[in-house]
Structure formats: C-alpha cells, structure tokens
Chain A
Amino acid sequence: MFKVKNLSVTVDGQEIIKGLTQDFTVPVGKFFVLFGPNGCGKSTLFRACMGFSKYEVSGDILLEGKKINGLKIDERVKSGLAYMYQNPPSLKGVKFEDVAKESVGDDLVWKEYSKDIDSLDARKFLKRDINVGLSGGEVKRSELLSLAMLENTKVFLFDEPDSGIDLDNLKKVGEYMGNLLKKKKAMGIIVTHSGDILKYIDAVKGAVMYRGKIACVGKPMEILECIKEKGYSKCVNCKEVKK
C-alpha cells in the first residue's frame, strides 16, 4: 500500500535520507512503527512524502502502487495520504470549527462528527483559533479530529503523537488512532521515541531508522526492548530482531 524506493531527501543542501527503499505496508487497521534517534530522518521522511517545500526528493514515493512525487500536498491528501504533525503551526484568527465546516462542506456532514468531537473531548477548542494556546494533549486531539474529516485516506503518517502529553491523553490519543484506522479502512505509520503509545495501538511491524537509512526491521515490541537495553547504536547491529 505504501512504500518508498531509492528515496533521497535533501534539506537546505544537506542530504538527510540517502537511497532509502522500504515497504511500510501493513494490514488495514494496523500500524508500522518507525523508531530512531533524534535527527535520523524520521520526520524528514514523513514531510518529504507529504511534499512540503524545502524537501528536495529523488526516488519514488508509492501509494497503492502509484508514484505521488509530483503531486501538491493537497493532491497527495486527496490521493489517500494524511499527516499528523508533531508540532503544528498556530493559525491566529482561524477558528477550528470554521475551517472544519469548510473542509467537510456542509453543516449536516459536520454534525456527523459529533461522536468524534466528544470522544476526543474537543468541544472546548472548536471555537478557538487553531493551535493557539492549546495544551500538548489538546494539540494532538485537534490534529486527530482534523484527520478524521479527511476522505479516502489509505495511509496515515503519525509524527510522534505521544510526545508532550500526559498518560490520560496518551490513552485517548492511542485508542482514537486505532479506531480511526479501522473506520477509514486505512493503515498507519507512526514515529515514536518512547514507545509508550504502543500499549494502545495494534503495531505489527517496526523498523529502526539510523542516519537516514533503515537499519533494522522486526516486531515493534522486540525492537523497543532492544533499544531500551542496548541503545540505538547497538540496536542497529542486532541480528536477532532482523527478519
């Protein structure tokens, strides 16, 4: 469903990812987990796949077998690729509810998201400016709610959804992500540092990214244990989890 082939990504003249080939596909409703130390290129990979400016890309980004490199960001979204920011920008003067209603296009359709709004405890920030003055947990929930409103998503890219949030929010966010995949009949790729969110999601495959390359592929919990025990540099050479 989602893979990259010989992908290289350069940002401000610096090559962050070099010749990466990886199939991230997992079954619908399941997660692929991407581990890696800070600066190894995980977020760069996501942002390059989304088509953000400043990310020069060569190689192929393939969504359901189709190359999406040439598409604009919104065209990639319409093709079925969605992205959850780790640190989204604040939009002053732009109310979440106004944008959401414009996004779904109809008041009646908007009402259909009532359940999502409640399960994400989102009513309190609907009438506020997007990401302005929100807590860490509220930012993540706001992001998830906006993802729920996208149509035809096949692959969700979650960039550190467990960073900067408390345990209550972690559970809420993790469970909602799993339900979102099932509802949308989509798969997810998630970047995590702590691995705390793995308790709440059905992660079936994982990989360690190291210096812009995939160093290890295996079962997520086993990889996490290896990282916790030996650190990233040793984990890279750990043959036991390579499958």
Chain B
Amino acid sequence: MMNLEDFLNNYMNIGFDPYIVLNDNEPLLLESDTETLEVLSISNPLVGKYIKEKKLVLQKNDWKKYTGYFIKCSKNSFGNAQTCFLTSEEGLEQRVQNVIVVEEGGHLELFTGCLSGKHVKGNIHRSVTDIFVGENATLIFNMIHSWGSTSKVYPNVKVHVAKGGRYISNYIVWEKVKEIVSNPTVEVDDGGQTILNSLSYIHPKSNIDLGGNIKLLGKDSVGEIHSSAVNGGGDFVTNTILEGVGDNSKGHIDCNALLLTDGAKVTAIPQLFSKNSNTQLTHEAFLGKVSSEEIEYLQTKGFSHDDAEEIVVKGFVNKSIEGMPEKVQERMLDILEKAKLGF
C-alpha cells in the first residue's frame, strides 16, 4: 500500500479542483463556494436549509457522529471535483453522509478515491449518499477504491435522475480489500439515462458484492449495468436488477467474469422485471476461464503461457473500461502496471 502523501499527490490527483479529503469522522474543513460549484460540509447549516427548501428526501441514518460532503453544481454550469475518504485509526468505523445535487442543465464530473493508513487494520467505511440529477443534467461519478486489505466497505447510494438527465457511474475495485457491498439504486424519469459500469479484481479471501438496481420509471428512460470482474481466488457476487415501468423504457445488463484459479467463485444474478408491455429488457453473461485458444494463439507469437494470459486479461480490462472517461482509463492502466494485474 502506498503512503498518504503519494496517494494524494500522485495516485489520486488528476488535477480536478477542488480536491477535498474527508478524514475518519472529522467534518470537512476546507469548504469551497463558487458560482458554479458549492462544496460544503454535510454538517453546515446551509446544507440543511437547502435540503428543506428543495424538499429533498434523503436516506435516513441514526449516526451521532459522521462526516460527509454536500456538492452542488449550479443550473447550466459545468463543474468537477475530486474527493477522497481516509481512515487513519485502527478499527475505526467511518460513517459518511453525502449529498450531491446537479441542477437543471448542469454537468458535473466527480473523481473519488479512498485510502486507509498503512498501519490501519480492520477499518470499516459506511456511507449513505443521495444523488439528485436535475432535468437535462449530467453527473459522471468515478470511484477508484484503494482501501486496505482488511477494510470492509458498505456504501449505500440512491440516485434520482430527472427528465432528460444522465447519471453515469464508473466503479473500480482493483486493490485488495476484505469486503465491499455496493448495490446503488437509481430511479430514472422520462427520457433519462443511467449507466452503471463496474470493474473489479477479486483477490483471494476477498468478498466483493457489486450490483445495482435501476428503476426505469419514465417514458423513454434507458438503463444499463455492465459488470466486469477478474477473479483471482475470492468470492464475487453481482446482483443486478432492472425494472421496466415507463413506456418504451429500455434496459440491458451484462456480466463478464474471468476466473483465473479454481478457488475463484462468481455468482451473477441478473433480474429483469417488466411492468409494462412496451418495455425492452435484456441480459447476458459470461463466466469462465481465460480462453485457451487465445492463450495458445499468443504463444505462437512467442509469448509464454503466463505472459499470454496477462495480455488476454489486460484486453478484458481494456474492453471493460472502454467508454469510461480518459482520466479513469489512464488511472486504471497505471494501476495495472503497478499491480502487475494483482497476480
């Protein structure tokens, strides 16, 4: 695991401004407020006032002490920001409540990372994030995990996409973590769109549960879930749900998982619920080993079996991150280079 300074300055720093860091359960100290973008501590009274005024319904929690941010991209504005969650105390349970609002016509890109200090063992991260994507607004939410090998992570994300809005999530877990359970729920109104992309590497003794639930409530709403995993010996579950409610709503789920060892376990549970005859929902899945035909092909080009397997897995990763923002792709390829694929 890298140290904090390297992480913040090099690994996670992609040049977005502001760059906010939330440490343990301490409040966000460096707030920022511009015409286009507000970044406030969740405990700032102005946040409560805004939520009340706009009648935003948030997920409830009964925490007494917690951290978190409020990010708002103003109407017809363009903004981006980096956020980072840190845990520095051993055994600490970090509790986070976040609210993200992109007002009508706004465009916001977030790049989020997370890290535990080297000495930190057995930490837990719980978060509740409510996201409101306004009419014809866009939110691109990029998350690259870098928790410790003993960390347990339970994010709870709920998203509402208003008419013509877009919510795109790119969720990457490549470094070793004990457990992640992340199954965001997204409700999509008329003409809205959401895409949930995830890519993970499952290390031995890791449990990764990455899925999602998209409710296509509006007419002409569209939803896609693309779940990709390379399993090096852990337990991977992807529970994905598409509900077609609105007229002419369309949705697709796909899951692709490469199993590198015999101990690797994958459970893909795609569920399609059609509540309207004018909806079209599909799913497909591939779970299996790296193709021996492809490995042997590369061996005829002079590569050893192991090198050939690495090339094929890299190809799988390349396909999985295709279409993600360039900065995410660059970061992912960087991770691959450093991690040597994790095996």
Binding site for B on A (CB under 8 A): 50, 52-53, 72-74, 77-78, 82-83, 85, 88-89, 91-95, 99, 102-103, 129, 146, 149-150
Asked whether B316 is an interface residue with its Cβ less than 8 Å from the other chain, the reply is yes
A78 to chain B, nearest CB (A): 7
Judge whether B305 and A103 touch: CB under 8 Å.
no
> Which of A50, A74, A77 lies in contact with B305, CB distance below 8 A?
A74
The total of chain B residues at the interface (CB under 8 A) is 25
> Which of B299, B302, B305, B315 lies in contact with A91, CB distance below 8 A?
B315
Q: 1/0 per residue B268-298: CB within 8 Å of A? A: 0000000000000000000000011110111
Inside 8 A of A95's CB, which chain B residues have their CB? 318
A91-B312, A93-B317, A94-B311 known; A77+B293 contact, CB < 8 A = no
Inside 8 A of B303's CB, which chain A residues have their CB? 74, 102-103
Say whether chain A's binding surface is mostly helix, strand, loop, or mixed. Answer: mixed
A24 to chain B, nearest CB (A): 18
The answer for the CA separation of A103 and B311 in the assembled complex, in Å, is 11
Judge whether B300 and A77 touch: CB under 8 Å.
yes
Judge whether B311 and A73 touch: CB under 8 Å.
no
The answer for the CA separation of A53 and B296 in the assembled complex, in Å, is 8
The answer for the CA separation of A51 and B299 in the assembled complex, in Å, is 10
Inside 8 A of A93's CB, which chain B residues have their CB? 314-320, 322
A90 to chain B, nearest CB (A): 9
The answer for the CA separation of A88 and B293 in the assembled complex, in Å, is 9
Inside 8 A of B301's CB, which chain A residues have their CB? 77, 99, 103, 146, 149-150
A188 to chain B, nearest CB (A): 15
The answer for the CA separation of A161 and B293 in the assembled complex, in Å, is 20
Say whether chain B's binding surface is mostly helix, strand, loop, or mixed. Answer: helix
The answer for the CA separation of A129 and B303 in the assembled complex, in Å, is 17
Inside 8 A of A83's CB, which chain B residues have their CB? 300
A19 to chain B, nearest CB (A): 26
Judge whether A102 and B296 touch: CB under 8 Å.
no
Inside 8 A of B267's CB, which chain A residues have their CB? none
> Which of A73, A92, A129 lies in contact with B300, CB distance below 8 A?
A73
> Which of B294, B319, B322 lies in contact with A89, CB distance below 8 A?
B294
Inside 8 A of B319's CB, which chain A residues have their CB? 92-93
Inside 8 A of A91's CB, which chain B residues have their CB? 294, 297-298, 311-312, 315
B337 to chain A, nearest CB (A): 13
Smallest CB-CB separation from B322: which chain A residue?
Answer: A93
Asked whether B44 is an interface residue with its Cβ less than 8 Å from the other chain, the reply is no
Smallest CB-CB separation from A47: which chain B residue?
Answer: B296
> Which of B311, B312, B316, B322 lies in contact with A102, CB distance below 8 A?
B311
Asked whether B32 is an interface residue with its Cβ less than 8 Å from the other chain, the reply is no
Asked whether B261 is an interface residue with its Cβ less than 8 Å from the other chain, the reply is no
> Which of A73, A99, A146 lies in contact with B296, CB distance below 8 A?
A73
Inside 8 A of B315's CB, which chain A residues have their CB? 91-94, 129
Judge whether B302 and A85 touch: CB under 8 Å.
no
Asked whether B304 is an interface residue with its Cβ less than 8 Å from the other chain, the reply is yes
- A-B pairs, top 3 by smallest CB distance, nearest first, are A93-B315, A93-B318, A94-B315
A-B contact pairs, 8 of them (CB 8 A): A73-B300, A78-B302, A83-B300, A85-B297, A91-B297, A91-B315, A94-B314, A103-B302
Q: 4 more A-B contacts (CB under 8 A) besides A73-B300, A92-B319, A93-B319? A: A74-B299, A74-B303, A88-B297, A93-B317
